[in-house]
Structures are given as C-alpha cells and as structure tokens.
Amino acid sequence: MSNLQIGLAISGALVLAGVVGYNAWSTRKNAPRQAQPDAAPPAQDSTAREPEFDLSVFDGGLASVPSIEKRPALDALIDAVADIGLESAVSGEAALAAMPQTRRVGSKPFALEGLNELTREWETPAPGQRYSAFQTGVQLANRTGALNEIEFSEFVQKTQGFADQFNGTPEFPEMRDEVARAKELDQFASDHDAQLGFTLRAKKTAWSPGYVQQHAARRGFVAGALPGRMVLPASEPGLPPVLDLSFDTQAALADDPAQSAIHALTLSLDVPLVRAEEQAFERMCDVAIALAASMDGLITDDNGRIIPIDGLAMIGTDLAQLYATLAEHDLAAGSALARRLFS
C-alpha cells in the first residue's frame, strides 16, 4: 500500500471517528433527562427554605373559610326528593332486592334512602335492618347541566316502581318547580366553577417519565390511576386529590420510557372539589415554582405565555372570594354536596 493510500485510510478513519463521536455527543445532549439515585441529604441549613408562595397576606384568606358541615346523602339543596310512606316496615333485604338496577336518571345520580326503624336516621338500605319509610332523590344539576323534564319523568317512574312493590305511597314535588330550581342551581354552579392549570415547559432538554416522577415524588406526589398521571393526596383518606400532575400518556406507556421525551407537564387544581383547609392553590404555586427550578422549566399558561408571580397573586385573591361564596351558600369547597354538584 502506498503512502498516499495509507494517509487516505488514516484520514478516513479519523473522520469516521469524529462523526461517531459527534453523534454520540449529540445523542447524549438531546436525550431526555433521566432520574438519578437520590444522594444522601446534606446537612440541614437552618436558614434554607423550600420555595413558598404566601397567600396569607390577602384579606379574607383561605384559612378563614368555615369548616365543612357533614350532611346526609340526600339534601333538598341540590336534590329533588320524593317521600314514600309505608303501611308497614320493610326489611333491608327486601328493599335492596327492589331497588332499581341503575343509580342514574339520564345524566343525573339517583339515590334511595330508608328511615331506620331503630336509629330513626336516613341511610342506604342495609341487610339486617328494618325501615319505616323511604325517600328517593335525583340530583338537580351537575357539570353535564340541569335536570330536565324527561329526566324528572324518569325519576318519577323509578320511584313509583319501587314504591309499588311495598304498596307505598310516594309524594312527588312539582316538576316545574324542580326544573326551575335545577336551572338556577346550574347557573350558580357555572358561575362559581373553577379548574386551574399551569403548564411546566422544559427550557431546553426534555424530561423522561422517570425524571418527572422522581421530582414530583419529592414534592409529595404519588402514582395516579392512569398512566402519565400523578396526584398529591388529600390530608384525609377518601377525598379527591389536592393536585393533579399529568403528562403524555403515550410517553408513560412506551416500550422504553427512558427514551420518551416529555416537553411539558400540566399541574391542575379542581377548586370546588378540594377543601379550603388544604391550601391547595398556595401549594400549587409552591410545587410549580419548585419543579420549574429543579427541572429547568418555565411556568406558563395553555398558550405558552409565562405566568408572572404577580399574576399568581391575583388568582389567589379571586379564589379566596370564591371559597367564601361557596361556603355562604352551604356548598363549601370539598364538602360532600360540592363534590356532587361539581362532578
């Protein structure tokens, strides 16, 4: 082989090595950020604080909202209720066997309760108990809209069918009155509903699902029921989560999630479903600021516009008023009635 051929071969090898090296560097540079083993916590600095967004400076703050009042399942505030008189007591077993197969009337929940002969309290029929009266109810409104005439007629049919099995006598409210109440309640709910969302966007390098999950877990989030969803649990078991954190479902279900690139997350709060005591919006702001700082991201709205801190403060003021208004109407955020109405 001549010196020329040897030189060309060496030059080609160097070029090939350079291309391979560049591709490897480019791949590493553009690969989604990956979760890393948690290092041992450093010595605690007494002056260090987690990022916080203090809403207590607002007059009439969230902490001043009254606590939630416990109520029975059926409530005339949001339900059309029919009473069923009986000639004699009915066992819980018989009541359960006679109950309608579905607990819906159109798009509205339907419920049936019995007056326990022993405790004199209304409850869902249960085996081993006896009931001296029954009542049925259909919800006047939810997020699908107001109860209409067709749904009310179906409610009457379900109730009458149940009552007939025990020679019961149902007393129904006037349909026109209940439909009118339903429209008013639906209008109130529409005017006082609030679902907030922040979008966290990666500044440069995308995130992998594991990277997102690791950082969210450090803020108290746990895996949700669906892929690509994490939740911040409420302080009381059984209540809706305080916050939701979601990202692309396909990224979470990928064969190799480590290579899935996530460019944006959605942090959301369903205001009427979360108790004021949870300080949900304040915690939402804290989480957004902390995640944006630790993951090199930006806090934006749905259209990609950066949300300034001053904008967050204005939202907090409006929410304090919303919480107070709901409580004044016996629909305190996070209460059983509010969770039903805003479902």
State the total domains in the chain. 2
Alpha-helical (H) ranges within the chain are: 3-30, 92-98, 149-164, 175-191, 209-218, 249-253, 280-294, 309-328, 336-341
Residue 69 DSSP SS3? coil
CB-based contact 228:248 (threshold 8 Å): yes
148 falls within a domain: yes
Q: Are residues 232 and 120 in the same domain?
A: no
Domain that holds residue 277: 194-341
Residue 117 DSSP SS3? coil
Q: Are residues 170 and 231 in the same domain?
A: no
Show which of 141, 169, 190 is a domain's final residue.
190
Q: Are residues 239 and 299 in the same domain?
A: yes
pLDDT given for residue 309 in this prediction: 75
The token duo for 224 is 């949700």
CB-based contact 146:140 (threshold 8 Å): yes
Show which of 157, 190, 223 is a domain's final residue.
190
Please work out, in degrees rounded to the nearest 5, the angle formed at the alpha carbon of residue 283 by the alpha carbons of 280 and 286. 155
pLDDT along the chain (343 residues), means of 10: 51 46 48 69 44 41 42 85 97 97 95 97 97 98 98 98 97 98 98 96 94 96 94 95 95 85 96 97 95 95 85 86 97 97 97
Cα–Cα distances (Å) from 42 to 38, 45, 187, 264, 295, in that order, read 11, 9, 53, 30, 19
64 falls within a domain: no
CA distance 120 to 132: 9
Helices and strands (H and E) in the chain: how many: 9, 14
Q: Are residues 222 and 316 in the same domain?
A: yes
208 falls within a domain: yes
Burial of 233 (0-12, 13-18, 19+ CB in 10 A): middle
Residue 176 DSSP SS3? helix
pLDDT given for residue 234 in this prediction: 97
A 10 A CB-CB count for 244 gives: 18
Q: Is the dihedral of CA 326, 329, 332, 333 positive or negative?
A: negative
Q: Are residues 288 and 326 in the same domain?
A: yes
Q: Are residues 87 and 159 in the same domain?
A: yes
Of 242, 234, 296, 249, whose CA–CA distance to 267 is shortest?
Answer: 242
Q: Are residues 204 and 100 in the same domain?
A: no
Q: Are residues 245 and 119 in the same domain?
A: no
pLDDT given for residue 302 in this prediction: 86
Show which of 140, 160, 190 is a domain's final residue.
190
CA distance 146 to 218: 42
pLDDT given for residue 314 in this prediction: 83
CB-based contact 171:94 (threshold 8 Å): no
Q: Are residues 171 and 265 in the same domain?
A: no
The token duo for 300 is 């934006």
DSSP letter at 257 equals G
Supply the CATH number for residue 205's domain.
Answer: 3.30.1400.10
